Amino acid sequence: MADNSKQGERREIRLGPDSFPDHPVGSKFVQDLKCALEQQDRERVNHLLQHRVKCVDAIIELSNDDWMKDPSAQLDPLVLLGLWSLEYKQELTSPLCIAAGHGYTDCLQYLLQRGAKPNMIVGTKNALHAACENAHTDCTQQLLEHGANPRLLTEDGLSALHLCNTAQTFRCAKLLLKYRADVNQLTEDLESPLHVVARQGLHNHVHLYLRYGAIVNTMNVHRESPLGSACGNAWSPESQEDYLQACKVLITYGANVNSVDDENRSPLHKASKNASLQLVQLLLKHKADVNAIDYNGCSPLANVIQTAPFKEELNPHRTVQALLNHGSRRVWPAAFPKVLKSCAGSPRTIEVLFNSYQQIQVTEEWMEAVPEEFFQLHRPFYESLFALACSPRSLQHLCRFAARKLFGDQCHALIPRLPMPKCLRAYLLLEPEDLVC
């Protein structure tokens, strides 16, 4: 824990873009420093910061794109027409920020021992922000031990804890909390650190923050909860397991599975849109409302149908199955041609949905809705579907529909318990067969 005698050093010092740099961008020192940083020459950077700077808290200008000072600058035509504006940007930093941001612990220790101010914000951030942003645990610890304030914000309104947004920053986050970082500190958009790590699927961070008292159902400016943030970003097949674990932890700590954002979208809406089957199953298991409607009039089922063509690698028909087996209302029959048109490349999604109806009239409009390329690619399925235009559904299917109607929204729970062959249970649960009859 930081020594109380150092509390006087924890004051915030901000040096903004109007501050005059001790080492301008055109100086020999900055040119040498930038070259050493580009080459990742640690020894050279250490030498420059320890022996060539004017003082340990010098202001260093790493870049300056003030194009107005250069009359020969070639400007984009859109700028000249006033359709696109350029902003003047100046990047200021300090020796301490450079050392912390690159993980140069020896140099950092040298600067701190010679009185460098750990809370001085130069440009947009201070050294602690730079260390956490780049997951340099040893630098983070050194700064905290020398009185760095973990609650100071960057110019963008982010605390050091908000910047711990990768798996590699876990130990930095632990140190910040040990030194009294505010786990519920909010940005201007009311984003908590828990929102940030939930959005990234960082389940270890999520668990850590909740153990330190993070508010599980806190809402950001869009009324989105951490659970909603996690479900909305679980789109990558490679990260599904991480998001699943993060959501499990959030729900264990009391996350509201039916919270809605400012567009009335629930976590289930977002998980369904991403065709995240395991997340959908988790939410349904914890009583998520399968028929919730957002401000666009969409249910979770409508969301997965809309995105199915773009999520084929995630088998969106499985998500459609899960929602229907938990009692989701089906698509209005008259809208089925639209489903065919948008989901033609996902015939199993069409099959699962089609088999949830007792009887739905196949018309010539259906045939016109399927693009020729998809018809040829999935010809056996579409031929079996369009053949039903002049024939009724099979008795087997009608029995399936009657059984499913009897079980209602408990199909998922009751059908697996029936004493019948596995293949029949799968049939009742709408398992696709790539043909319809």
157 and 113 in a common domain: yes
- Residue where a domain stops, chosen among 296, 329, 362: 329
pTM of the model: 0.88
Could you tell me the residue range of the domain that residue 259 belongs to?
A: 184-329
- Residue where a domain stops, chosen among 278, 296, 329: 329
- CA-CA distance, 98 to 196, in Å (whole number)? 25
- CA-CA distance, 128 to 136, in Å (whole number)? 10
pLDDT band at residue 87 under the 50/70/90 scheme: low
Task: Indicate whether 72 belongs to any domain.
Answer: no
Task: Indicate whether 15 belongs to any domain.
Answer: yes
325 and 201 in a common domain: yes
19 and 168 in a common domain: yes
Tens digits of per-residue pLDDT, 27-69? 999 999 989 999 999 999 999 999 999 899 999 988 876 544 4
49 and 129 in a common domain: yes
Task: Indicate whether 74 belongs to any domain.
Answer: no
3-state helix/strand/coil string of 165-211: CCHHHHHHHHHHHHCCCCCCCCCCCCCCHHHHHHHCCCHHHHHHHHH
370 and 393 in a common domain: yes
Tens digits of per-residue pLDDT, 94-125? 999 999 999 999 999 999 999 999 999 988 89
193 and 312 in a common domain: yes
Task: Indicate whether 377 belongs to any domain.
Answer: yes
Tens digits of per-residue pLDDT, 163-216? 999 999 999 999 999 999 999 999 999 999 999 999 999 999 999 999 999 999
Cα–Cα distances in Å, from 315 out to 43, 212, 291, 371?
52, 38, 21, 21
Task: Indicate whether 78 belongs to any domain.
Answer: no
387 and 301 in a common domain: no
251 and 319 in a common domain: yes
Task: Indicate whether 421 belongs to any domain.
Answer: yes
- CA-CA distance, 170 to 136, in Å (whole number)? 10
Q: What is the pLDDT of residue 71?
A: 47
213 and 162 in a common domain: no
